[in-house]
Amino acid sequence: MTTQAREADVPSATGGGIEVRGVTKRFPGVVANQDVDITIRPATVHALIGENGAGKSTLMKILYGVQKPDEGTIALDGEEVHFSSPTDAIKAGIGMVFQHFMLADNLSVLENVVLGAEKLFGIGDRARTEIVRISDAYGFDLDPDTLVEDLGVGARQRVEILKVLYRGARIIILDEPTAVLVPQEVEALFANLRELRASGCTLLFISHKLDEVLAIADDITVMRRGTTVGEADPKTATKRQLAELMVGSELPSPETEESTVTDIELLELRNVDLVNDEGRYLLHDISFKIHRGEVLGIAGVEGNGQSELVQAVMGMARASGVIELNDEDMTSWGTRARREAGIGFIPEDRHHHGLLLDSPLWENRMLGHQTQPPNSKHGMIDRKGAKEDTTRIVAEYDVRTPSINTTARALSGGNQQKLIVGREMSGEPVLLIASHPTRGVDVGAQAAIWEHIKRARREGLGVLLISADLDELIGLSDRIEVILRGELVGEFDPRTVTPQELGSAMTGGKGAA
Amino acid sequence: MNKVLQGGMALLAPLIAIVAAVVVTSLVLMVAGASVGDFWSLIFQVPTGRNWVNIINQTSMIFLAALAAAIGFRMNLFNIGIEGQYTLASYAAALVAGAAIFPGKLNVLVALIVAVVVGALWAGIAGVLKVTRGVSEVIATIMLNAIAITIVGYLLSNHGQQYGQGRRTAPLPESSRFKGWQLFEKTDGNVWTLVLLAVVVGIGVSVLINRTRFGFDLRATGANEAAAVASGVNVKKMIVISMLLSGGIAGLIWMPALFGQAGYYGPTFQHQLGFTGIAVALLGRNRPLGIFFGAVLFAWLSEQANKLQLQAGISPSIVQITQGVVVLSVVVAYAVVQRWRAIAEQRALRTALDAGVKPEGVSAA
């Protein structure tokens, strides 16, 4: 055991190289990492890319001391290290910025930073000086006395990075740091990261967004199925090459071909309002139309009313105004009636709204369609019909499962999502409400899901698409509406709009086109 | 996942629970200075004819009580008010049957309907309070227990017939009684005819929960309410219907005894079945078959315990500890076994996938 303890004062300007050799980590029944080899040069941005489930998170946890490898070695500046907890990793100068921020909203930046690290610089002026020093050194632009709740997402992320630097880290692991940012914020983050690199910090950047990786990384390592499958030089590599390394196949694109929009109105919302218990508007004066064969994309920073809009259309929340389907007023209908009328629903959180995790797949296939054939007849469940149709979905949508009697919990996220998409596309829906249909899904499954949406659209399906992935929105939609604070604030043509323009409208920066 | 393993896992939890109950009970006996050997030999003694008859009769009532609880539990609705529901329903049914408005067996049928309706309505109050005012059904049903028992006591003492020390409702006419079946000697007593009621309701509940759309909605609501709502289930409606069903079944609990033996509602009324039912529903994991075995176990333990005082000088209350430990251990053991099962399932999944697609760079574990 040679845990390196370092002075925790200033990020050291030299060192910070990591060598991972033959790391293997097994969980009951699963090999999460196998023979992982990575060499991270000091003072570089090293990108680790791979699909969901490729083993990036496990490797990250091993580097940060959350988990111990079963086999293999990790060397820091040529010296072998063994971490038994994150405390050891922090002592050795490794810090981690999690995807989900771990900040107390009602505390100030100063308080959040010193929390748990009171021994370093105390909690008073010395700490304040240090925070200001770090913030100025890297252009973080953070005031130690601002409350975290008053900060935007980008600034909160900088607080997280500051926390790590404050504890003396010179190797920083960033877990999908751009997942929560709009394009402008990503640019700002990258500027900060370049500053950090210039001052000698080593950054391990985990992502599956290839554009960003190519823009920021000095070295790239690709993981697939739990192991490192290759390295790439960002100066010469293309997105396509990286994606092929990631999935072992070609990079899919969400782009739809020719327009299939008809002039037959399918869904119409007129002046829809949704008010919460405190009387605040969650949705205000929402009006739009979706035609047969049309995909309407809703862009917006999360939490601006997308979930509420979906609930209003699905009848899960009682909204005022008028909602019509095929010229029939369905404002007063319940969720079941709307589903029976042919609305398919891919929920944003599949575990919360989409699945019975401890029930077998064939019962999950029935969920939401339990009143319709082939799942039931005369009020009785048709087990044979439901099971046969589940077998069909498993085959057609490539759900990787040993059996339709397996519980939904046992499947990976991508396979769960494919089952949901297959289920919602069954029974010839007329309208599909798709909330983040490819979130947390690997590239292969993503391509398949896009293909299914495009095919149904050609057959006249109308789609209300909500997504945080702007490429997906631009690629699939015939029209994009931007939602901000519960109101539709602008309409864009996906053929001409850029992610930057959308990002600007989403944050209320610029008026709509 | 293969069926044998799955079946084995299902039996594992009750087995662990029973072993734990035996160990704990033995320890308690030792601490109390009683003979552990005597206790278990009496409990596991082959029942006499009389014991058998009692075990069967008691099983039917415990089974009904547990089914009533299970219906609610399957959708995370905790009807703790079964005790009050069947007390009030039993009194109402005995009152109607004793009045003998209808002749013979028609009288029985009417009384059964009254029992179901009264039980359902009493439980329904808690359901309606929950969906309209947001009152927790646990609190509401516990309060309703106290109210029901008080109402019955009041009505009985003000309008009942004087009978010995106590009061009772008018006895049933002879034509509205069932003889039952004499399986052993005449002195051993008879198995009540309406034990069949438990069988019918058991099958009915099983079909309802597992085979009907309503049952699917009910299970979905219990498993994941948000997903059920998104699937179109009207949860408020489900809460009221489930409470009505649960209470309706609760109303039937004491009917086998009323028409097979008691003949009136009075001092011989058997209390506490509602609470026993809750324990047995937990023990049987809210599945009709599991509940059946749980009911047999409870009836067996209670019946065999009667000999303890006389033959070994041990207090029969000791079996309540056994019963309690069984229920507690089952809850714990199921959680543990559930985890094992999930791991085994993931392993099976991984094996199946590795066999199907061999990705480069990864060898099957």
This prediction has a pTM of 0.74
- Rounded to a whole number of angstroms, the distance from the CA of A193 to the nearest CA of chain B is 32
Most confident of A102-111, A180-189, A399-408, B141-150: B141-150
In this predicted structure, the answer to whether residue B306 has a pLDDT above a threshold of 50 is yes
Contact between B213 and A376 using a beta-carbon 8 Å cutoff: yes
User: Are B216 and A406 inside 8 Å of each other by CB?
Assistant: no
Note whether A227 contacts B232, CB cutoff 8 Å.
no
Q: A154 or B150: which carries more pLDDT confidence?
A: B150
Query: Which residues in B211-244 are b (16+ Cβ under 10 Å) and which e?
Result: bbbbbbbbbbbbbbbbbbbbbbbbeeebbbbbbb
Task: Give phi and psi for A17, each to the nearest 5.
Answer: -90, 140
Residue A339, chain B, CB below 8 Å: the answer is yes
Chain A residues in contact with B362 by the CB 8 A cut-off are 31, 34, 225-227
Task: Kindly tell me if the per-residue pLDDT of A370 is higher than 50.
Answer: yes
Residues 215-274 of B with CB under 8 A from A: 215-217, 219-220, 223-224, 226-234
Lowest mean pLDDT among A154-163, B20-29, B348-357: B348-357
Contacts of A383 in chain B (CB under 8 A): 211
Reply yes or no on whether the pLDDT at B290 is more than 50. yes
What's the confidence (pLDDT) of residue B61? 97
Q: Rounded to 5 degrees, what angle do the CA atoms B209, B210, B214 make?
A: 50
Reduced to 3 states, what is the DSSP secondary structure of residue A49?
strand
Max mean pLDDT range (A401-410, B269-278, B318-327): B269-278
Contact flag A370-B342 (C-beta cutoff 8 Å) = no
Minimal Cα distance from B211: which residue of A? A381
Averaged pLDDT score across all residues of chain B: 89
Of A149-153, A302-306, A398-402, B180-184, highest mean pLDDT: B180-184
How many CB atoms within 10 Å of residue B188? Answer: 16
Residue A428 pLDDT more than 60? yes
ipTM of the complex: 0.83
Instruction: Tell me what the mean pLDDT of segment A151-171 comes to.
Output: 88
Q: What confidence score (pLDDT) does residue A501 get?
A: 82
Nearest chain B Cα distance for residue A147, angstroms: 34
A367 and B227 in contact by Cβ < 8 A?
A: yes
In chain B, beta strands by DSSP E = 161-163, 166-168
Vertex A435: Cα angle to A506 and A486 (nearest 5): 40
Is a pLDDT exceeding 90 seen at residue B57? yes
User: Which residue of B210, B345, B359 is in closest CB contact with A410?
Assistant: B345
Check whether B218 has a pLDDT greater than 60.
yes
| Confidence band, pLDDT 50/70/90 cuts, at residue A383 | very high
pLDDT of residue A66: 85
Q: Does B353 touch chain A (CB under 8 A)?
A: yes
pLDDT value, residue B133? 93
The confidence score (pLDDT) of residue B357 equals 42
pLDDT above 80 for A209: no
Contacts with A336 from chain B: Cβ below 8 Å: 232-234
Give the pLDDT of residue A253. 61
Rounded to a whole number of angstroms, the distance from the CA of A316 to the nearest CA of chain B is 7
CA distance to partner chain B, nearest, from residue A408 (Å): 11
Contacts of B224 in chain A (CB under 8 A): 352, 355-357
φ and ψ at residue A386, rounded to 5 degrees: -65, -40
Q: What is the pLDDT of residue A12?
A: 43
Q: What is the pLDDT of residue A53?
A: 63
* Chain mean pLDDT for chain A: 85
Minimal CA separation from A338 to chain B, in Å: 8
Identify any residues that bridge with A230 across adjacent strands, giving them in sequence order. A222
Q: What pLDDT shows up at residue B202?
A: 96
In this predicted structure, the answer to whether residue A109 has a pLDDT above a threshold of 50 is yes
Probe site for chain A from B209, B210, B362 (most A CB atoms < 10 A): B362
Only one residue has tokens 């599949």, namely A350
Residue A407 forms contact with B (CB below 8 Å): yes
The answer to whether the CB atoms of A30 and B346 lie below 8 A apart is yes
Q: Which of residues 52-81 of B touch A (CB under 8 A)?
A: none
Beta-carbon contacts of residue B211 (< 8 Å; ≥ 6 apart): A380, A381, A383
Q: Which residue has the tokens 């029974």?
A: A427
Task: Tell me the mean pLDDT in the region A174-179.
Answer: 83
The pLDDT assigned to B353 comes to 63
3-state DSSP assignment of residue A6: coil
**Cβ of B359 and A229 within 8 Å?**
no
- Ranking A44-48, A220-224, B132-136 by mean pLDDT, the lowest is A220-224
Report residue A263's pLDDT band, with 50, 70 and 90 as the boundaries.
Answer: confident
Contact B220 A334 (CB under 8 A): no
- Stated as kind and residue range, the H or E segment containing B301 is helix B288-312
- Name which of A13-22, A298-307, B20-29, B186-195 the model is least confident about: A13-22
pLDDT at B237: 94
Contact B335/A at CB under 8 A: no
Between B297 and A207, name the one with better pLDDT: B297
Probe site for chain B from A35, A348, A353, A367 (most B CB atoms < 10 A): A367
For residue B77, pLDDT beyond 90: yes
- Choose the weakest-confidence range: A125-134, A373-382, A493-502, B165-174: A493-502
Structure tokens at B344: 């085994």
Average pLDDT over residues A91-111: 87
Question: Residue B352: which pLDDT band, with cuts at 50, 70 and 90?
Answer: low
Q: Do A466 and A436 contact (CB within 8 A), yes or no?
A: yes
- The answer for A 216-255 residues in CB contact with B (under 8 A) is 224-227, 229, 248
pLDDT interval class at B171 (50, 70, 90): very high
Is the predicted pLDDT of residue B84 greater than 70, yes or no? yes
Task: Show Cβ contacts of residue B94 under 8 Å, excluding neighbours closer than 6 positions.
Answer: B111, B169, B172, B258, B262, B264, B265
d(CA A346, CA A329): 23
Contact yes or no for A229 and B352 at CB 8 A: no
Amino acid at A372: Q
Tell me which residue in A368, A383, A407 faces B231 most closely, judged by beta carbons.
A368
